[in-house]
């Protein structure tokens, strides 16, 4: 096995916990390694705010000095993470990638607080598409980040910094958000896992809202099992959040031995790759891999999902973005990214009757789609049909952004759960991904199936020097 230097510490939860238990590593060593990496990278557009070196080392020292019994009470003891900068952490500014909007948070989002209470170490707040509006990742009032594998390509958004902090091995996991794909698109573009849980499982209180009725917190990690670990710790009913929901439904589960049995996965009959034959070929290969894992591939009519997509940014739900930050945008026009401003302000033209018509249309689509889940166990789609260069997005920001949501926008509108998994690389070296989608409360099923796929088909972890360890039962395939 290749020996890595300290600068190349593998930041997965399982790896860190194993080395901590063996006494081969301490939180102080991990934090010092991360600090060194941050200094080497400089202003790379990933971070909006990082805690001071002194604060981070002090926190790591406090954890290191705990007794064994104290450590055993902290399931995330010494695990570093980041938080998207539209989520509040008390004592740290929240900017939503708009410097003029920044305020000092006085409360911490409940899900993030659970992670801190579990012993995780917050490294800092990450960059995003301003006000979480976009799937490109470069609409920011700060330094724009780029793809982990190419300076010329977009990182995906809106949770660009969160995904990049994981892909580059700067944290073990990141908390982002997902309204129309923000927790999945940057995962696909940067070769990592993005879990979008059922709406309401993770409290969205103390966040800068995009669409309050649809918003989710999302989880980025190098492995699907790490994402599930974080979900189990961070979830919990929040009585002070009107959109919180308890995890009171037993989720479906697909154990490793069941991957040998038939599971039914749907694929869209109406596929769109926007001229990208590499992504199309990767998707075709993914279908074959799932079939080899015991899956039964069933083509489904994708038209109802496309109709739902259209309602997110071309329907009344955009009015929720105005309800959240519209007053600020109108009062500070020059401080808001042009494309973001255009999207949010057009919501002023939406009437109450249009809003109700949108609700009626969505409920009709839900009823139309519901029987499908009796025919398939999950829907498998490309995370995106293509990926764009930064210059392409700058020339056509709205149309190309819309293309990126072809396989993502409908998920929260239809109250579904999803996980984005790496799916290999294009000929230009840029990653692509697939997304597994299922009814609410299906996270365990999605994690197990996604993990099996990840192990068989793609074992590179983000943009790090490490590979995913292959399970012995799957290494034979």
Q: In angstroms, rounded to a whole number, what is the distance separating the alpha carbons of residues 34 and 271? A: 41
Per-residue pLDDT of 58-77, as tens digits, reads 999 999 999 999 999 999 99
Q: In angstroms, rounded to a whole number, what is the distance separating the alpha carbons of residues 2 and 21? A: 21
Instruction: Write down the residue that tokens 């055993």 correspond to.
Output: 72
Q: In angstroms, rounded to a whole number, what is the distance separating the alpha carbons of residues 100 and 315? A: 28
pLDDT band at 474 (very low <50, low <70, confident <90, very high): very low
Torsion sign over Cα 298, 302, 304, 306: positive
Per-residue pLDDT of 234-275, as tens digits, reads 999 999 999 999 986 655 554 444 444 579 999 999 999 999
Instruction: Write down the residue that tokens 């580059």 correspond to.
Output: 168
CB atoms within 10 A of CB 338: 11
Tokens representing residue 241 in the block: 């959040």
Per-residue pLDDT of 408-421, as tens digits, reads 999 999 999 999 99
Q: Tell me the average pLDDT across 412-440.
A: 97
Residues contacting 36, CB < 8 A, separation 6+ = 7
Domains of the chain and CATH, by start: 13-247+260-457 (3.90.1300.10)
This prediction's pTM: 0.95
Q: In angstroms, rounded to a whole number, what is the distance separating the alpha carbons of residues 464 and 170? A: 10
Burial 39-50 (b: 16+ CB within 10 A, else e): eeeeebbbbbbb
Tokens representing residue 450 in the block: 């996604």
Q: Judge contact between 172 and 400, C-beta under 8 A.
A: no
* Torsion on CA atoms 236, 14, 452, 304, rounded to nearest 10: 30
* Torsion on CA atoms 181, 306, 428, 423, rounded to nearest 10: 70
Quote the pLDDT of residue 5: 41
- Residue 196 CB-density burial (10 A; 0-12 exposed, 13-18 middle, 19+ buried): buried
Q: In angstroms, rounded to a whole number, what is the distance separating the alpha carbons of residues 168 and 220? A: 12
Q: Tell me the average pLDDT across 26-49.
A: 97
Alpha helices per DSSP H over 5-143: 13-22, 27-41, 53-64, 68-72, 110-117
**Which positions are catalytic?**
84, 158, 182
Quote the pLDDT of residue 249: 65
Quote the pLDDT of residue 1: 31
Q: In angstroms, rounded to a whole number, what is the distance separating the alpha carbons of residues 290 and 450? A: 10
Q: Judge contact between 216 and 175, C-beta under 8 A.
A: no
Per-residue pLDDT of 360-388, as tens digits, reads 999 999 999 999 999 999 999 999 999 99
Q: Tell me the average pLDDT across 227-240.
A: 97
Distance of CA 243 to the CA centre of its chain: 20
Per-residue pLDDT of 122-178, as tens digits, reads 999 999 999 999 999 999 999 999 999 999 999 999 999 999 999 999 999 999 999
pLDDT band at 346 (very low <50, low <70, confident <90, very high): confident
Quote the pLDDT of residue 317: 84
Average pLDDT over the chain reads 92
Q: Tell me the average pLDDT across 455-461.
A: 81
Q: Tell me the average pLDDT across 418-432.
A: 97
Quote the pLDDT of residue 261: 57
The answer to whether residue 477 scores a pLDDT higher than 80 is: no
Tokens representing residue 119 in the block: 């012993």
Q: In angstroms, rounded to a whole number, what is the distance separating the alpha carbons of residues 312 and 347? A: 12
How do beta strands 121-126 and 47-50 pair? antiparallel
Question: What whole-number percentage of the chain has pLDDT above 70?
Answer: 94
The answer to whether residue 395 scores a pLDDT higher than 90 is: yes
The answer to whether residue 475 scores a pLDDT higher than 70 is: no
């Amino acid at each position: 096995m290749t020996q890595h230097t300290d600068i190349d510490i593998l930041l997965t939860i399982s790896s860190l916990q194993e080395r901590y238990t063996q006494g081969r590593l301490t939180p102080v060593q991990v934090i010092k390694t991360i600090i060194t990496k941050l200094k080497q990278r400089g202003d790379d557009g990933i971070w909006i705010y990082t805690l001071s070196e002194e604060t981070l080392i002090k926190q790591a020292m406090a954890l290191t000095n705990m007794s064994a019994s104290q450590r055993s009470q902290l399931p995330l003891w010494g695990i570093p993470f980041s938080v998207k900068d539209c989520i509040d952490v008390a004592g740290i500014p929240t900017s939503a990638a708009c410097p003029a909007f920044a305020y000092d948070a006085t409360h911490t989002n409940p899900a993030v607080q659970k992670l801190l209470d579990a012993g995780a170490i917050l490294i800092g707040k990450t960059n995003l598409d301003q006000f979480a509006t976009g799937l490109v990742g470069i609409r920011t009032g700060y330094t724009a980040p780029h793809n982990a594998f190419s300076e010329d390509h977009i990182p995906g958004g809106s949770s660009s910094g969160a995904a990049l902090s994981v892909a580059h091995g700067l944290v073990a996991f990141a908390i982002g958000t997902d309204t129309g794909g923000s927790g999945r698109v940057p995962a696909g573009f940067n070769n990592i896992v993005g879990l979008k849980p059922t709406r309401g499982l993770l409290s969205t209180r103390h966040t800068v809202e995009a669409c309050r009725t649809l918003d989710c917190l999302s989880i980025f990690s190098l492995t699907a099992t790490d994402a599930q670990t974080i979900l189990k710790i961070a979830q919990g009913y929040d009585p002070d959040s009107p959109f919180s929901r308890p995890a009171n439904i037993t989720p479906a589960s697909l154990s490793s031995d069941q991957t040998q049995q038939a599971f039914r996965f749907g694929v869209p009959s109406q596929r769109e790759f926007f001229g990208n034959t590499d992504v199309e070929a990767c998707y075709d290969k993914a279908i074959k891999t799932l079939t080899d894992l015991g899956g039964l591939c069933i083509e489904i009519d994708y038209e109802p999902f496309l109709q739902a997509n259209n309602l997110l940014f071309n329907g009344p739900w955009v009015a929720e973005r105005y309800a959240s930050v519209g007053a600020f945008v109108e009062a500070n026009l020059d401080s808001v990214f042009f494309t973001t401003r255009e999207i949010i302000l057009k919501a002023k033209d939406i009437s109450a009757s249009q809003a109700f018509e949108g609700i009626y249309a969505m409920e009709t689509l839900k009823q139309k789609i519901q029987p499908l889940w009796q025919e398939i166990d999950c829907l498998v789609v490309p995370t995106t049909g293509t990926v764009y260069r930064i210059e392409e997005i700058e020339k056509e920001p709205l149309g190309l952004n819309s293309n990126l949501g072809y396989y993502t926008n409908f998920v929260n509108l239809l109250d579904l759960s999803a996980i984005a998994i790496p799916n290999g690389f294009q000929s230009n070296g840029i990653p692509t991904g697939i997304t597994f989608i299922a009814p609410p409360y299906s996270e365990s099923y999605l994690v197990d199936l996604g993990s099996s796929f990840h192990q068989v088909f793609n074992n590179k972890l983000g943009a790090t020097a490490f590979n995913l360890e292959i399970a012995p039962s799957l290494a034979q395939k």
